[in-house]
Structure 1
Amino acid sequence: MKKSLLVVSVSFALLNMSGIAQAVGDISAGQGKSGTCASCHGENGNSMMPLFPKLAAQNEGYLVKQMHAFKDGSRSDPTMASMVAGLSDQDIEDIAVYYEAQAVTANSEPQINPDDLDEIDDNDSLSEDEKTAARKALQDKQGALIAQGYDVYRNGDLDNEISACIACHGPEGEGNEPASFPALKGQHADYLIKTLTDFKTDVRSNNPDNMMHMIAKKMTDEKIKAIAYYVSVMK
């Protein structure tokens, strides 16, 4: 029964594709028009700030859909709304194809929280051997989170009725262009954690019946972090 629910939910998502009519984009024009985006998203769409998403190599259809959503208010973000307010449909298409044509940069492995390491180092009740063991335990936990993220991304979590991410976002995190499902490979872990949490808590609620709301609400904070960590280092 649970497996059937997952198949049905994935099929529903595939049927719920964007119907936005798109103009034909021009990459060169898009490069010029993307200048104001660079301060947050990086010169070529590779944001250096963990909470601002990378746009490089993102699917054109997804970018077009999101820019229209910011513009018409169905996705709420005052900063983005002001950025896209003056864009024409052609501008949006040009910017989208430009970013899709860029290569996304690889991320380094997620780092252990420095505060956790400082807490170990400052604990005078621990011997040096105990501190070394505590640091290793943190590293092992980090590795276990990435392994858990790999498993959920590829296999889902049947016990909690969480669909495998691979069904919509592809085996390499490349997304699904016809369905306007976003590419995830190379995205910042912090941004992915924020996005999944926003879906879970309805902060991002332009379509509360969509697949991501249904999935994220069933995720624990640990599972969200695990998936974000794994996706961020996909090659």
Structure 2
Amino acid sequence: MRKALSAIAVLALASGHVATVLAEGSPDAGKQKSAVCAACHGVDGNSVNPEWPSLSGQHASYIVAQLQHYQQGTRSNELMSPQAAALQAQDMADLAAYFSSQSLVPKEADPDLVSRGEQIYKGGDTDRGITACIACHGPGGQGNPLAGYPKVAGQHAAYLATQLRLYASGDRASDPNQMMRNIAGRMTENDIKAAASYMQGLR
């Protein structure tokens, strides 16, 4: 398909309300606009730096939502915030359509962490109030675009761990009803590293 709807209805994660994005995204146009993004996220959305997320195969609606958060200040990053500031809705839709259409390079989990990571991901820890990741992100880590839950399968463990720490500290607050902040805040550093590594290895 030459064109794709980048988002029709997405969850605005800062408030929990549904935001409507009417722009129709073009993968071809997105590719032409992606040169600046490629410096960190890779030409095809596969980042070579584990601290920067891979965008390939991510839900277009989620990419748009995060760009909106950076633009609106509900999510902040010294590199991303100024990049998102100049984007129009059409730019976001095109970039999201392009990166979502790319194939993610699979990665492996750390064998020393995979057992604990699988336990946290699939079962959580009820004694400490840690909800299982699978509940929102699915058995294969593919997420739920209609609910605004991102694909986590194959994402860099280092990036995922950083985001969990940001949620835990409250420095990232773009989650509805503090959902991720509440969960991450109850996780130990070992839990975070293990869960992140397990998600990296999901296909």
The TM tier, using the shorter chain, reads: 0.7 to 0.9
Whether 2:122 is the aligned partner of 1:154: answer yes
For residues 191-226 of structure 1, what are the alpha-carbon distances to aligned partners after superposition, in whole Å with 9 as ceiling and x for unaligned? 111110110011212458421001001101110011
Of structures 1 and 2, the larger Rg is shown by 1
Residue 79 of structure 1 aligns with an amino acid whose one-letter code is L
What is aligned with 2:40?
A: 40
Output aligned runs, 1:107-122, within 5 Å: 107-110=107-110
Counterpart among 133, 142, 156 of residue 165 in structure 1: 133
How far, CA to CA, are the matches of 1:183 and 1:206 in structure 2?
16
What is aligned with 2:168?
A: 200
What is aligned with 1:31?
A: 31
Give the match's secondary structure for 2:19: coil
**When the two structures are superposed, what TM-score results if normalisation uses the length of structure 2?**
0.88
| Number of equivalenced pairs | 190
Indicate the larger mover: 100-109 or 191-200: 100-109
Give the match's secondary structure for 2:152: coil
How far, CA to CA, are the matches of 2:99 and 2:178 in structure 1?
25
What is aligned with 2:193?
A: 225
How far, CA to CA, are the matches of 1:53 and 1:20 in structure 2?
25
Q: Give the Å deviation of 1:109.
A: 3.9
Q: Provide closer, same or farther for how the CA distance between residues 213 and 22 of structure 1 changes in structure 2, counting only shifts above 3 A.
A: farther
How far, CA to CA, are the matches of 1:169 and 1:16 in structure 2?
17
Residue 107 of structure 2 aligns with an amino acid whose one-letter code is N
Residue 143 of structure 2 aligns with an amino acid whose one-letter code is G
Residue 174 of structure 1 aligns with an amino acid whose one-letter code is Q
Q: Give the Å deviation of 1:178.
A: 0.5
How far, CA to CA, are the matches of 1:22 and 1:228 in structure 2?
33
**When the two structures are superposed, what TM-score results if normalisation uses the length of structure 1?**
0.76
How far, CA to CA, are the matches of 1:153 and 1:207 in structure 2?
18
How far, CA to CA, are the matches of 2:47 and 2:119 in structure 1?
27
Q: Provide closer, same or farther for how the CA distance between residues 207 and 168 of structure 1 changes in structure 2, counting only shifts above 3 A.
A: closer
How far, CA to CA, are the matches of 2:190 and 2:70 in structure 1?
30
How far, CA to CA, are the matches of 1:208 and 1:89 in structure 2?
22
Structure 2: state its 5+ residue gaps: 1-12
How far, CA to CA, are the matches of 2:197 and 2:144 in structure 1?
21
